[in-house]
């Protein structure tokens, strides 16, 4: 008699997981009382003004509509359309470059030159991503790097998780330990009524510790997989499939002259992106170099009109501007390499098509926030935290503040949105417990950053996993030890800072 094979549990598709979460949140809008805070002219909550409002339970139609509203947005929630268009354009750009052969030749060169030093390369790359996360909240901008690094790591004998982690853990730990990130530290400091420079010392210490923890975790795992792929969290079938899909010919000849120009333009694109995104004048009021150049160009008569008056100076760019940048550079690269018009269009569309599922998953993730905001339960949860944290000692207060911000980060995945919504309430509470405002900000960033490494409500997390074709359950297993280590280290640092009054 043949025994029936037990069916192993298989993690649902990422889209299914997000839809299930949307349903759960919708159910909660029937249970948790709806509430609201009075707000300032800037739309920020005013402490002590919470009041219940008429219940706004979300029904079946609301759940079905959430992903579509998540794409286009409504009065309460910004749409994911900017992120999705950016991802599609990145796909087109990367495919145009890929078809020139420059990326394959470049990857081949990296592997040949770093075969015995790949873990050192991971440390360097993670530092770069970590600095990006810490200084300007690098998140959606990392999407193109997954497509580049996963093949490198797979070809070097690691697995796709190493490629994802190098970027996601690197940038994520940087955001978790933001030092001057204007979208987290800047907004939170403004809401708390303090300067961006206050608390810079503990934030720098936080940055160093988190970078070391993240780097050690990823490189240790990479070494284990390199030694024996049985140590990988991925199945043998997945590993074999990745080696086939991400196969790189290491014996390619050196790059041609045109390919060298293409790869130079390729890296120049990312340099321009970074220069455009870092808010120079917000970091230092005297750093107005790019604004001065922009003003001179715009005032140059025909030159300003030729360039276009909608062009913003470096430091004020965001998704729309860098999307246009990648589109422009795809055209420039096609012209330089000699790609024909029809081939260029076909290559760009094919590349965008490859990223379609990644773009759509961002909208579905944003749909969860639509349900929460339309159901008006976010303010109620915040009110519960406000009541629970008042009147505590400094040590207990900072630990509970950290713990409070973990579920709040699920409710409001945007660090800037969470800072704007809560810091006007949380910072004054810290004063009553003898905790400086800047330390409340550090606790908020650490908790928010921790959850955003794994939350399915993050378009970046789900997008990265979609590119690597790794399911969310595998990512959670992979990240479990790092999350525990990061949480413990964060709490220890926060308590030490609170008790010693380090500022």
- Number of Cα atoms under 13 Å in the Cβ half of residue 298: 12
Place of tokens 């598709």: 13
pLDDT of res. 253: 65
Pairing of strands 51-52, 35-36: antiparallel
In this structure, the number of other CB atoms found within 10 A of the CB of residue 298 comes to: 16
Rg (Cα) of the chain, in Å, rounded?
A: 24
Whether 300 is covered by a domain: the verdict is no
User: Domain count of the chain?
Assistant: 1
In this structure, the number of other CB atoms found within 10 A of the CB of residue 274 comes to: 18
pLDDT of res. 2: 45
Whether 75 is covered by a domain: the verdict is yes
User: How is residue 228 annotated by DSSP?
Assistant: -
Whether 459 is covered by a domain: the verdict is yes
Domain membership of residue 433 as a residue range = 31-49+59-279+315-500
Whether 217 is covered by a domain: the verdict is yes
Give the sign of the dihedral formed by CA 400, CA 443, CA 423, CA 394: positive
The first and second tokens of residue 257, run together, are 């002259």
Distance between CA 147 and CA 152 in Å, rounded?
9
pLDDT of res. 3: 46
Residues of the chain with pLDDT under 50: 1-5
Whether 295 is covered by a domain: the verdict is no
Whether 183 is covered by a domain: the verdict is yes
**Selection from 171, 192, 180 nearest residue 439 by Cα:** 192
Whether 16 is covered by a domain: the verdict is no
pLDDT of res. 4: 46
pLDDT of res. 332: 96
**Selection from 157, 88, 43, 9 nearest residue 363 by Cα:** 88
pLDDT of res. 218: 97
Distance between CA 231 and CA 483 in Å, rounded?
19
- Which backbone phi and psi does 110 adopt, to 5 degrees? -60, -45
pLDDT of res. 248: 62
Q: At what angle do helices 378-389 and 415-432 cross, to 10 degrees?
A: 20
Place of tokens 């107005």: 288
pLDDT of res. 457: 79
Whether 20 is covered by a domain: the verdict is no
């Amino acid at each position: 008699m043949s025994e029936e094979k037990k069916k192993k549990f298989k993690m649902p598709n990422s889209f299914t997981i997000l839809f299930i979460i949307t349903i759960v949140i919708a159910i909660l809008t029937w249970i948790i009382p709806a509430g609201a805070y009075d707000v300032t002219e800037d739309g920020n909550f005013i402490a002590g003004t919470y009041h219940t409002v008429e219940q706004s339970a979300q029904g079946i139609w609301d759940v079905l509509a959430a992903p579509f509203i998540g794409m286009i947005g409504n009065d309460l929630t910004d749409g994911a359309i900017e992120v999705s268009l950016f991802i599609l354009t990145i796909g087109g750009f990367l495919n145009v470059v890929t078809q020139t052969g420059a990326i394959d030749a470049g990857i081949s060169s990296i592997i040949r030159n770093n075969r015995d030093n790949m873990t050192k390369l991971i440390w360097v790359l993670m530092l770069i991503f970590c600095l990006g996360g810490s200084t300007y909240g690098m998140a959606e901008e990392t999407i193109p790097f997954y497509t580049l690094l996963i093949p490198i790591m797979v070809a070097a004998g690691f697995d796709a998780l190493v490629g994802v982690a190098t970027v996601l853990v690197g940038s994520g730990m940087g955001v978790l330990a933001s030092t001057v990130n204007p979208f987290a530290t800047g907004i939170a400091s403004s809401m708390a009524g303090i300067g961006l420079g206050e608390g810079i010392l503990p934030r720098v210490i936080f940055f160093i510790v988190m970078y070391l923890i993240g780097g050690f975790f990823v490189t240790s795992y990479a070494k284990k997989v390199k030694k024996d792929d049985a140590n990988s969290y991925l199945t043998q079938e997945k590993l074999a499939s990745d080696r086939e899909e991400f196969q790189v010919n290491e014996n390619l000849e050196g790059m041609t002259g045109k390919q060298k120009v293409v790869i130079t333009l390729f890296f120049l694109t990312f340099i321009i992106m970074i220069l455009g995104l870092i808010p120079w004048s917000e970091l230092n009021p005297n750093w107005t170099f790019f604004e001065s150049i922009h003003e001179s160009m715009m005032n140059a008569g025909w030159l300003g009109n030729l360039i276009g008056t909608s062009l913003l100076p470096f430091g004020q760019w965001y998704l729309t501007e860098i999307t246009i940048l990648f589109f422009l550079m795809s055209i420039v690269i096609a012209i330089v390499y000699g790609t024909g018009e029809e081939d260029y269009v076909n290559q760009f569309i094919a590349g965008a098509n490859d990223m379609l599922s990644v773009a759509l998953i961002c909208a579905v993730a944003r749909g969860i926030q639509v349900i929460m905001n339309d159901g008006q339960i976010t303010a109620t949860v915040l009110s519960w935290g406000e009541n629970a944290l008042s009147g505590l000692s400094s040590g207990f207060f900072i630990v509970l503040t950290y713990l409070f911000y973990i579920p709040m980060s699920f409710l409001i995945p945007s660090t800037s949105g969470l800072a704007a919504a809560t810091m006007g309430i949380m910072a004054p509470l810290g004063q009553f417990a003898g905790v400086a405002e800047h330390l409340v900000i550090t606790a908020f960033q650490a908790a928010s950053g921790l959850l955003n490494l794994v939350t399915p409500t993050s378009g970046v997390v789900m997008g990265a996993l979609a590119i690597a074709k790794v399911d969310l359950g595998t990512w959670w297993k992979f990240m479990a030890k790092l999350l525990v280590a990061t949480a413990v280290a964060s709490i220890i640092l926060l308590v030490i800072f609170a008790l010693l009054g380090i500022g």
